[in-house]
Structure 1
Amino acid sequence: MPALRLRAELNRIRVLLLTNRDSDNVGDQIIEASVISLLKTVAANLDLDEDSFEISSRAAGIISKKYMKTGDESLLKSARKAISKADILVFGGAPLFNYRYQTFYRRTIRTVELAQEYGVPTLFSSIGVEPYSDDDHRSQALKQALNLPVVKQIITRDDLPSVAKYVAGTQISTGLVADPAVFADKVFENIVGQSESNPKGSKSTIGLVVTRAGIFADNGIDFSEDDQRQFWLGVIELLRERQYGYRLFTTGHFTDEIFLDSLVREHGVPAKNVRFTVNSPDELIEELRACDAVIAYRLHASITSFALGVPSVGLSWNFKVPEFYKEIGYADRAISSDNWSPRHVVAVMENALANGVTKDSSYLYSVYKSLFDGVKDILTPDGEAVPYSLNEVYDALPRYPMTSLPEYRAKVQRKLRRSYDFYANKSIQWRPSIQDGLILRIGRRIKRALSNSIR
């Protein structure tokens, strides 16, 4: 490819990494940091120094929503510039194929089309995949884009059979691998947990990770906002009876925080047991490290807990939750909605707490090996480099340096803008008597985090 040959002459390889880095879900930010660290390790493994391997990390939604609405080609200027300058395009660890109740797949399609236009080889690394459909035109449109010659590798963290159907008849490399966040214990090694001790007389601290009210209906589960509220209150009651400490928090979604605020305001959950806002990877890592076990709706709370060696129980609201627990050898720790009773969930948590976490090294290694193979096949297909061992990967992984003050402010400002957009559109229906107050209170908390963010 002309662009790649030119850059090779200039001794510089440019990787455009697309993740959900701008998502309120801090789990996506943990993925971004982990993929960057893994890519830098691949570069070292291929004997490329830092000056010759440049990673530009952008949001996976590099194609703007406004373009998707209008089709105005002038709105692609920024995306075209970023993609045309790249030697490799890597989609890292995001749910890029989602089409059932999201429209992200359309942006993925247009991004791949631009990569094809500029001849930029494209890798999908450890992505989330929704089930393939022969009958759904959206799935078929995605398949058409994924079959473009520029796509070299599609590696998933959950639905390999669907990936196989998407690429049937092509030479595209596929595989099932771990999520990049399984390396969070190493990447975020410098981020310590909360220092506060367990309440006097308590056995352990259990993290309780709530989610937004509408997520169940979106996934065809008959479980209302009040059902979730009563579930958590029942869990808290059992934990108190059994002398556990507990912490309530989210993975950073603004709408999750709205639910958490209502739980505290309306039912008297002590504020000392709650972290109302999570705005950076550092803050989520701190919360999870402070827990002895975790009960979570959000998948990346479970994945990051696993990485940190903290046993977790996953409350399954879509197929990806049980798939993850199956892959790590703890299928019994994923609980379907039929069994979301506080007593059953706490019993499963206690069993997980007693048995801890054991990691399969081959599972952890899979995401690095596939990324190494994908990059090597593009840059040096005939080269003699062999992938590092897992221990060598551990040693080589650059550590996350903690979120800087400017970065933290930027994250909070983006979150505020999204919360304002939510408020303006009122895309989720709440009871009119409390909706506005809830949103404004959460907004004030986010602003407080911004004003107090001097580290």
Structure 2
Amino acid sequence: MDADATNRAELKKIRVLLLTNRDSDNVGDQIIEATVISLLRTVARNLSIADESFEISSRAAGIISKKYLRTGDESLLDPARKAISQADLLIFGGAPLFNYKYQSFYRRTIRTVELAQEYGVPTLFSSIGVEPYSDVDPRSQKLKSALNLPVVRQITTRDDLESVQRYVAGTQIATGLVADPAVFADKVFENLGKPPVAKTKVAKPIVGLVVTRGGIFADNGIDFTEGDQREFWLGAIRLLEDRGYNYRLFTTGQFTDEIFLDSLVRHHGVPAKNVTFTVNSPDELIQELRKCDSVIAYRLHASITAFALGIPSVGLSWNFKVPEFYREIGYPERAIDSTNWNPLHVVTAMETALKSEVKKEEGYLYTVYKALYDGVKEAIALDDSSTAYSLEEVFDVLPRSVKTSQREYRAKVQRKLRRSYEFYANRSKAETKGASKRVSLLRGVLRRIKQTLR
């Protein structure tokens, strides 16, 4: 870039509104936010935009409130209107923004894009999760109409490119299959949660066991109950002990996952010393994963972050996104279908993975950065002759994350408590069989979350 172009880039402040699942209890979503921000700042430097001239306002993807979705009260859109109208570029980063089967994300996405169109704000979707396109489902068709608005410039996905292409068929919108931004977690978080040197001297390998909520399987059409998941983990623990492994159980932070984990300790004899009950920040999830030599996980971002950290894992496939990720990284055999969710099969697969180093294909890692670079460069129409950094240059320039501050941590926990109390209030009204036991578990998990604020 010549001196004049550089001066113009420095003089004009470029305001990016980034929408992610940043306030989700699922810490995997918080890792996405942090890595996307680092990648965007790297793109800005690649385009010779001064740091102080590139302003990122990171907000929750649910910028359209649930109350608006219920009532249609246009006054409730005022905060979203203000944020979008002040932006030069709107980027949706890494969230499951097209989900319509049992979530309302798609409705929020539609209204957000409509507002971006109203204010003429170029819009990019970066490495998003996509549910399959449907010609007959009216929800999918409403989403298609919004995605075909002229303001949408680029849509990249981490899992279902075919559906994305069907959503925008007949348009000039750029599409692509890219890596999840969390594959850069090892670089972005390299200064956090480093394992003690003594870890390498532990005689028994440590296997991380990442549990999930009981209802996730029914939501995805899998005949596998909460009791089935419990028996699977208890059987896996017995087998790991028999084969000479240590193990640790934890979650990626979802409150409902923690309820299930708590029940394993309270009612089924899992030793508390082998459990981390609450995970509330990227620092804590990174720290848990770095204690492990291998991982068995239901939650996809435990697998993705483990991959970034060079930790071999196997993923238990409860929807198509899990096998798609393992296929993309070159280990399709490490995604275990629900028909093989038995301790012997899964532990044996883990042992096979543990014998091999995690190999990363550089071209795959690079896809998410290159797509962001191309999308941002085109959307803000800089008179720029630069070329995209190489992957090595990205590694060098990528800003590193700092430890979550006490203030940020308290805010994360308070949001989690608020949602947890809402969940508790709804469940405690239940009169069904076993309700008292479930409510007792809820109370116990709430107490543990509160303790993290002390």
| Aligned counterparts of 1:214 and 1:367: Cα–Cα separation in 2 | 32
Contact 1:191 1:286 in 2 (8 A): yes
Q: 1:74 offset after TM fit, Å?
A: 0.5
Tell me the equivalent position of 1:444.
Answer: 447
| Amino acid in the other structure paired with 1:449 | T
Q: 1:202 offset after TM fit, Å?
A: 4.4
| Aligned counterparts of 2:45 and 2:180: Cα–Cα separation in 1 | 21
Tell me the equivalent position of 1:86.
Answer: 87
- TM-score (ref. length: structure 2): 0.96
Tell me the equivalent position of 1:4.
Answer: none
| Aligned counterparts of 1:290 and 1:37: Cα–Cα separation in 2 | 25
Pairwise CA RMSD of aligned residues?
1.7
Tell me the equivalent position of 2:5.
Answer: none
CA gap of 1:202–1:236, structure 2 versus 1, over 3 A, is farther
Q: Where do residues 28-427 of structure 1 align in structure 2 (5 Å cutoff)? A: 28-195=29-196, 202-380=203-381, 382-426=383-427
| Aligned counterparts of 1:112 and 1:25: Cα–Cα separation in 2 | 25
| Amino acid in the other structure paired with 1:208 | L
| Aligned counterparts of 1:415 and 1:283: Cα–Cα separation in 2 | 15
| Aligned counterparts of 1:199 and 1:377: Cα–Cα separation in 2 | 47
Q: 1:193 offset after TM fit, Å?
A: 3.9
Contact 1:193 1:287 in 2 (8 A): no
| Amino acid in the other structure paired with 2:434 | R
Contact 2:10 2:49 in 1 (8 A): no
Tell me the equivalent position of 1:25.
Answer: 26
Count of residue pairs brought into register by the alignment:
445
Q: 1:435 offset after TM fit, Å?
A: 1.3
Contact 2:158 2:178 in 1 (8 A): yes
Q: 1:195 offset after TM fit, Å?
A: 4.0
| Amino acid in the other structure paired with 1:186 | K
| Aligned counterparts of 1:193 and 1:267: Cα–Cα separation in 2 | 32
In structure 1, list runs of 5 or more residues that go unmatched: 1-6
Contact 1:198 1:205 in 2 (8 A): no
CA gap of 1:188–1:225, structure 2 versus 1, over 3 A, is same
Q: 1:268 offset after TM fit, Å?
A: 1.1
In structure 2, list runs of 5 or more residues that go unmatched: 1-7
- Helix, strand or coil: the match of 1:450? coil
Q: Deviations over 1:397-428 (max 9, x none)?
A: 10000100000000000000000111122299
Contact 1:295 1:314 in 2 (8 A): yes
Q: Deviations over 1:158-195 (max 9, x none)?
A: 00000000000000000000000000000000112454
| Aligned counterparts of 1:192 and 1:163: Cα–Cα separation in 2 | 36
Q: 1:10 offset after TM fit, Å?
A: 5.5
Q: Deviations over 1:198-251 (max 9, x none)?
A: 799842000000000000000000000110000000110011011111000000
Q: 1:430 offset after TM fit, Å?
A: 8.0
| Aligned counterparts of 1:85 and 1:244: Cα–Cα separation in 2 | 54
Contact 1:202 1:244 in 2 (8 A): no
Q: 1:380 offset after TM fit, Å?
A: 3.2
CA gap of 1:424–1:211, structure 2 versus 1, over 3 A, is same
| Aligned counterparts of 2:254 and 2:330: Cα–Cα separation in 1 | 28
CA gap of 1:81–1:10, structure 2 versus 1, over 3 A, is farther
Q: 1:378 offset after TM fit, Å?
A: 1.5
- Helix, strand or coil: the match of 2:453? helix
Contact 1:206 1:294 in 2 (8 A): yes
Deviates more, 1:339-348 or 1:7-16: 7-16
Q: 1:8 offset after TM fit, Å?
A: 7.2
